[in-house]
Structure 1
Amino acid sequence: MIEIRELTKRYGGVTAVDHLSFSVRPGQVTGFLGPNGAGKSTTMRAIVGLDRPSAGTATVNGRPYADHPDPLRQVGAVLEATPAHRGRTAYHHLLALARTHGIAASRVDEVLELTGLAPVARRRAGGFSLGMRQRLGIAAALLGDPAVLMLDEPVNGLDPDGVLWLRTLLKHLAADGRTVLVSSHLMSEMAMTAQHLVIIGRGRLLADISTAELIARSGVDRVRVRSPQATELRDLLVRQGAAVTTDEPGTLLVGGLPVETISTLARGHDLALHELSPRRASLEQAYMRLTRDAMEFSAMEGSLP
């Protein structure tokens, strides 16, 4: 479990993280979201002791990262493309880490297989693509079979097969009872991977909420309407103040009016409806609304304005 309590980090006159508090619990993938400069990377660096907090605490399984006698067995972290020595093979990079931390050499073969790097284990890291370097970083993070996994933009450089592999891996690790924290700007991927979200803006907490609840609270974005009299219906809805677009003949995408109003208007003007289906906002839309409205930095935990 990761616990952040009143974490603050200042760089001179700039406050990167501002009295931030949240917990990351085991058993689910938690997405860590926020605009560029929100303080995500600084927070993650503070968790593993790379940045010293100006105030507050960041603990892993009840104690600061530096206080763990076996940190690699507690936390596996990928905060950038792995800095493996370019002349060292993937196998020997991981073997050096294993020997340093008292981990059996057999574990190296296990993580190479798990991350799909077994066929290139004897290749030098200097010839690896960005995606392969990401896989090597994840292999290193998994080396100690840690209870906590923390990844910053882990899908960078991965091809579609790699993205699917990582998504499946993270869900499996969470289902196994581990704590998984993932930072990403890819909302579509977070929607498919994360069950819970922590969203920050300018170093402050904006939301600590399940993914499903955030999307549900954003409400219906548009209503899809199919009608053989789409032109007449469109004119009617526009006169009522709706925003109407068309993606195919006979189909309207209506914003600004609820389903009930559209149905009543159509019935009152004898216009036939073949489909009337609300479309909920996507995670990306919900996130954009939240971060846009958060410019006043009103923090919230588990609720929206």
Structure 2
Amino acid sequence: MDPFAWSAREAGPGEPYAAFLSVTPSGRLLGVTAEFGLSNWAGARPDIVAVSEPGSRLAPGARTTLWAIASLENRAGRQTDADLRPWVRFRGAPVGRDNRPSPSLTELVSSCATAGAYTYDGCTLGRPAPLGDDLFVVPVFSRIYRSGNRGGAFTFALLDDQGRPAGRLEGLDPYKDSPFTGFCFTVVADPHRGRAFHLNRYGLYAWSSDGRLRTRMSTEDKPFKALTRFALMECTPAGELLLVHREQNLLPRVPVPEDLGDLPSAVEDALRTYGTRRTALKKRSAPVNWHWVDESAQVHRL
């Protein structure tokens, strides 16, 4: 099953606005919008990376205009006027047919692939993350196969707000650091401090805004083994990593130090503290199958 297909299906009938949305420091909306009529895909497919003007706001019944900066693929010959959406624009007109950013993201990442021109054929688009007002991380993943995907190609591309390539997040091995194990596709960023983060079953990774890998914490190392039980959700405006435990339904926060070289110590301390506080909370709240009921309806900080 395509792990990204939910974003199109959840839109339901009508006209979906965006599959993902993030906010830059100046209030620009960064997101992915879906298109109909692409290639031989049925229904809507997440395809366009787009941003709004600074200070944009969402309001009930209103759609802020999004300006396309990248297109995952350009095979849109089947599109009709009914497939165009007026709030997703490129060069002053709705995105559709040949009016779209070019070359496509598929072509851009394929040109850097060492395994051949068709490595990213049928690839999927992850959730973009803002590294600033005009620099974004755009994850692209090769096709999902039922037989297993570890070692499959992926790129955490860096694009500016005009869609121009600005490098990528470096330092990951397609096999040893594969996000396909467990489908760990989330990349988050701290746009206020210019840092990006990724967590999968093999490690927690941190980059500076130039794409240089600053820290790698391997889950093979004893202090970080517990990270395999967590998923990365977001980076808060305060510069904290927000995790969620896959079974225990708890959300610990990890403060990120100014020097990313000190992050391993902060993560180790947070994991140790998590265990102690979880035990105390379990005694107090008596969860049933890790479903938490608290009559006081208070939020317990972990």
TM over 0.5, shorter chain: no
TM-score of the pair, normalised by structure 2: 0.30
Structure showing greater radius of gyration is 1
Using CA pairs below 8 Å that are at least 6 residues apart, which structure has the higher relative contact order?
1
TM-score of the pair, normalised by structure 1: 0.29
